[in-house]
Copies of this chain bind each other. A is one copy, B any other.
């Protein structure tokens, strides 16, 4: 039995008519919402059951229980599913749903593992889902799960590890499939599902996993159900992340602390050497001063500028909240600024300050920097440019603690230790897949979709792009105030409901939208 037939038989109500294509002006979102309103209790029940499974990537027994549960959730919906394995890794749950006549294939991504927990900081245990009548920070109180037939208040929040990051996305994606089936509709693209089991543990085996299973994962675009929507609660898509690399610099002075009176302006002061070096790296507007640093940076394109224009202005509110009298690179907006490489100085230590300050020349001074990269910067090239700059500033560069001979032999010695870095990943906003996804999502929204060319943060998205060569688009559903990665992680129910509508719309509209883009139809 072809998969899609099985799916329709399993999920579509008996009364549903034959599958139809939706026109862009249809009321799809409203119909999905109506289905959801009638099925909230079932959606909620499946969600709570999944959240009850402890899901640390390092907990191999429980992580496989999660994988098995997600596999069953796919199979219940008629999706052919299997566990993908790579040596030493939690399994990835893979599903495949071919749609007759569909010419494009989309992978729906989420991860089912969760961040480590500091149980002491949780108001309720992380794997015992608790419903609250509003956010904890707004005084939310625990309420019982609704009895059969009772409605769910959309402002209620469900608290548990991975409510938002990412089990909620899995529920939204699979419920969207249910909704379409129930409405007698079918996806307009072939669907694949890839639910990763070690994202919060650094995706150590991801490259191996993708490489081994590249054939199964062949697709035209990935939709990544990870991260939060915009702070305004409006729908947002994001098309990239910055790359990242750490760098610790240590500069050496006298072998022991010296009295600053007896030796001050004779003994070289490592604090002074360090601050002068750091001052040579960038200015106060974020502009990097290292020669050739911008050579590989892909300029911001017209499509990116257009996307930036969809971002709600947040700058004035943020400056108020953060007590800032300026921003770097003004009048550049936050969205624009994070499309640029950044050298962030995040740690400085070189002798004591405050009540324990002493009049000494310290033996060494250290700085920690993190280097955010954008397309098409390559970490190895960035490293080379930085090392060249250190040398141009008169430093002899070492990569481990210098011995006495080395310190004696060179006027200035610096230890430079890079932590493993990875490049940025950013889908081109000119690609048909990207334009199609934007068009499909926008069709169901009453307000402009927010299109973020890149998040400022960093993750391993580049691995997908490097191995598979197709774009990844962030299609988040969680509330921005979901305490992702921290204690008391939660999902606002309206965000889950909206997420079902979002993914149902994508499944139903993406095929035609894509054809429209390829036929040169104007973007909505």
Contact = CB atoms under 8 A, between A and B. Distances in A.
Interface in A251-276: 252-256, 258-269, 271-276
A410 to B, nearest CB: 5
Contacts of A264: 286, 338, 342, 344, 370, 372, 456
Given A254-B324, A412-B325, A457-B259, A349 B352 contact: yes
B275 A275 contact: yes
A20 B282 CA distance: 75
Interface stretch (A127-135, A208-216, A305-313, A326-334): A326-334
Contacts of A26: none
Given A271-B348, A354-B368, 12 more contacts: A246-B359, A260-B342, A261-B455, A264-B286, A264-B456, A269-B344, A272-B278, A272-B284, A324-B408, A326-B412, A345-B351, A347-B357
Contacts of A256: 322
A40 to B, nearest CB: 33
A328 B258 CA distance: 14
Contacts of A269: 328, 344-345
A319 interface: yes
Given A254-B322, A255-B322, A354 B248 contact: yes
B266 A337 contact: yes
A317 interface: no
A458 B259 CA distance: 11
Contacts of A409: 325
Q: In the complex this chain forms, how many copies of it are found? A: 2
Contacts of A360: 346
13 contacts: A263-B456, A264-B370, A265-B328, A266-B338, A268-B328, A271-B348, A274-B275, A284-B412, A324-B408, A325-B409, A344-B361, A346-B358, A359-B370
Contact of A266 (B275, B329, B345, B408): B329
Interface in A348-384: 348-354, 357-362, 365-368, 370, 372
Given A261-B455, A271-B345, A275-B279, A351 B325 contact: no
A275 B348 contact: yes
The 3 closest A-B pairs by CB, nearest first: A265-B286, A261-B457, A348-B350
B352 A255 contact: no
Contacts of A444: none
A348 B349 contact: yes
Contacts of A321: 255
Interface of A: 242, 244, 246, 248, 252-256, 258-269, 271-276, 278-280, 282-284, 286, 319-329, 332, 334, 337-338, 340, 342, 344-354, 357-362, 365-368, 370, 372, 404, 407-413, 455-458
Contact of A323 (B242, B366, B367, B407): B407
Nearest to A265: B286
Given A321-B255, A345-B350, A372-B260, A327 B266 contact: yes
A252 B457 CA distance: 23
A85 B278 CA distance: 54
Contacts of A358: 346-347
A264 B345 CA distance: 9
Nearest to A351: B347
Contacts of A351: 345-348, 368
Specify which of A258, A327, A348 lies most central, judged by the most chain B CB atoms within 10 Å of its CB. Answer: A348
Contacts of A279: 275-276, 278-280
Contacts of A255: 321-323
Given A261-B457, A353-B347, A324 B361 contact: no
Nearest to A243: B261
A260 to B, nearest CB: 4
